[in-house]
Amino acid sequence: MGSGGWVLVLFHIFIHAFTVGLTVAQPDFPGYLCLDTGNYTQDSVYRKNLDDLLFTLSTKATSFSNFSSGQTPDVANAIALCRGDVDPDTCRRCVDDSTRKLRQLCPYQKEVIGYYDDCMVRYSNRSIFGIMETAPSGYLLNVYSAPHVVPFNKALISLLEKLQGEAATGGGSTRMFATGKTVGPDNLTIYGLVQCTPDISGPQCSSCLGTAIAVYPSCCGGKIGGRVLSPSCYFRYEIVAFYNETLADAPPPAAPPALHAEVRRKNATWIVPVTVSTLTAAVVAILVLFVYRWHGRNQKRKG
């Protein structure tokens, strides 16, 4: 590999370091939402049921878990979904941390949803099992754009649609999950991951991911990394490998048949912007400029 190749590799690693620092190493969730659908009080029956529910969830969580506690009208329902490529210990730690932090971030809301890199946790006082929901939705994105936006978008959308089909065929398993990669402009490798909660059907998973992918051009078009998040599914992509390829390719364990239902809710889009310091932006900008100037001089020499 020539010196130009090494510069590009270092450039990708450099971007990866900032991406991880911005979207992973946060004291709280990269994305969470306290829904305005009702509150509970400190001494309410719902509070007790929620305490019992989240304790059960934090101690018994698996790759996909759904539990209930109490009776209507004070029933508490929860879902935990771990990313398909994380090991059981990482999954349990993520869910346990989520149950504690969501209570701190949304102390009296009856309905809450939060996303870490490795897991998603949501709870509610209404039925949420076997119900495909695309709202509320939100997104995270890297602030930097790909060198050639149009071919980058085309390559990414093609990859996500392929993964959409693969995940949708996982109905009835504990992982409606797929990963893959493709080569974009300038031989840039694009890595993608999609996942649905496995309590919905394959067609519902495909529909959910299709809705999420349709959001991409308006939220994250041309950015080198991003995620679109919804209650029943999400996708993520980066220009560096961010998932465990060995565990991602492992065969999924069997699961009970999923319940099927539909619900319509008013969409409430939420956005968690990723920001960088002025120094970080300056350093990355200088590095990008160096790469492209080097590339230009190298092309002139070849000409």
Report the C-alpha gap between 68 and 123 in whole angstroms: 9
Extract the tokens encoding 153. 């978008």
pLDDT for the residue numbered 59: 93
pTM across the whole model:
0.74
Strand partners, 136: none
Q: At what angle do helices 202-220 and 149-168 cross, to 10 degrees?
A: 160
Cα angle at 255 between 90 and 125, to 5 degrees?
Answer: 75
Residue appearing with tokens 């270092």 = 10
Give the chain's largest Cα–Cα span: 77
Higher pLDDT, 139 or 258: 139
The helix/strand/coil state of 279 is helix
Helix axes 278-302, 3-23, angle to 10 degrees: 160
All residues at 6 or more sequence positions from 290 whose CB lies less than 8 Å from its CB, including other chains: 7
61 class by beta-carbon count within 10 Å (0-12 exposed, 13-18 middle, 19+ buried):
buried
**Contacts of the segment 93-101: beta carbons below 8 A, 24+ positions apart:** 94/118, 94/119, 95/57, 95/58, 95/61, 95/65, 95/119, 95/121, 96/58, 96/59, 96/61, 98/29, 99/54, 99/55, 99/57, 99/58, 100/58, 101/28, 101/29
Where is pLDDT greater, at 13 or 204? Answer: 204
Nearest to 55 by CA among 103, 91, 88: 103
Per-residue pLDDT tens for 21-62? 223 333 467 889 999 999 999 999 999 999 999 999 999 999
- Which pLDDT band holds residue 245 (cuts at 50, 70, 90)? confident
C-alpha span between 178 and 195 (Å, rounded): 7
pLDDT-derived band of residue 173, with 50, 70 and 90 as boundaries? low
Amino acid (one-letter) located at 184: G
The answer to whether the CB of 259 falls within 8 A of the CB of 127 is: no
Mean of pLDDT values over 241-254 = 69
Structure tokens at 128: 């949420």
- Compute the distance between CA of residue 190 and CA of residue 224 in angstroms, rounded to an integer: 8
Res 175: pLDDT: 78
pLDDT higher than threshold 60 for residue 227: yes
260-276: average pLDDT: 33
| Mean pLDDT, the chain, integer | 78
pLDDT 10s digits, 115-159: 999 999 999 999 999 999 999 999 999 999 999 999 999 999 999
pLDDT at residue 255 tops 80: no
Task: Please compute the mean of the pLDDT values over residues 274-303 and round it to a whole number.
Answer: 40
Q: Is the dihedral of CA 150, 274, 57, 252 positive or negative?
A: positive
